[in-house]
Amino acid sequence: MYRYTYDEIAEKYIDTIYRLAFSRTKSTQYAEDITQDVFVKLIDSRKSFESEEHLKAWLLRVTINLTKDLFSSAWFKRTSELDENISYTAEEGSDLPHALSCLPKKYRTVIHLHYYEGYRVDEIAQITGASQGTVKSQLHRGRQMLKTIMEEGETVE
C-alpha cells in the first residue's frame, strides 16, 4: 500500500488537477472549485492506493467526474460564462488556444492527458472509463479538428 501525506500530495498535484479542470471547464472559477472538491474527496476517501501513479490516476478521474456533474447541472447552464481571460502562454500568432477552446471537452480531455500528462491510450482509457478504441478515436478526431481549425481558421462542429 502506498503511504503518503496529504500536504505532499496536495503540493505535488494541485497544478495537475487544476490544469485538467481548466482544460475541461475553460473557466478559472470552476477550475478552482473543482480542484478544491477533488482534495475534499481525497481527505474523505478511505481508498488505499497501490502506488503514487495509482493515486494520481484516481485524482484525475475524480476531476473528470466532478466536471461532468458540473456540466449536467442547470446551474452551469444558467451561470456559466466563458472565461475569456484564458491564462495560456502561446507563441505569438499561435491559433492553438483558440483551436483548443473550440474542441468538445471529451477531445480536450484526451488531448490534455496525452500531450501534457504523457499518458498512453490504455492509461487514458482507465482514467476516463472509456474503451481504448474510444480514446484512440477521440485522440485522432481531436487532432484532426485542431489541425483543421488552425489551418483553415474554421470552427468544426
The nearest distance, CB 39 to another protein, in angstroms, is: 5
Q: Which is nearer to another protein, 15 or 53 (CB)?
A: 15
| Count of CB atoms situated within 10 Å of the CB of 103 | 22
Q: Which is nearer to another protein, 39 or 58 (CB)?
A: 39
In b/e form, how buried is each residue of 122-157, taking b as 16+ CB within 10 angstroms?
ebbbbbbebeeebbbebbebbbebbeebbeeeeeee
* Binding region for another protein (CB under 8 A): 6-7, 10-11, 14-15, 17-19, 22-23, 28-29, 32-33, 35-37, 39-40, 43-44, 46, 69-70, 72-75, 78-79, 87-91, 94, 96-97, 100, 111-112, 115-116, 143, 146-147, 150
The nearest distance, CB 89 to another protein, in angstroms, is: 4
Q: Chain-centre distance of CA 18, in angstroms?
A: 8
The nearest distance, CB 106 to another protein, in angstroms, is: 17
Q: Which is nearer to another protein, 56 or 112 (CB)?
A: 112
Helices (H), 45-120: 52-72, 74-79, 96-102, 105-115
Q: Which is nearer to another protein, 113 or 125 (CB)?
A: 113
- Phi/psi for 59 (5° steps) reads -60, -40
Report the C-alpha gap between 56 and 62 in whole angstroms.
Answer: 10
The nearest distance, CB 151 to another protein, in angstroms, is: 8
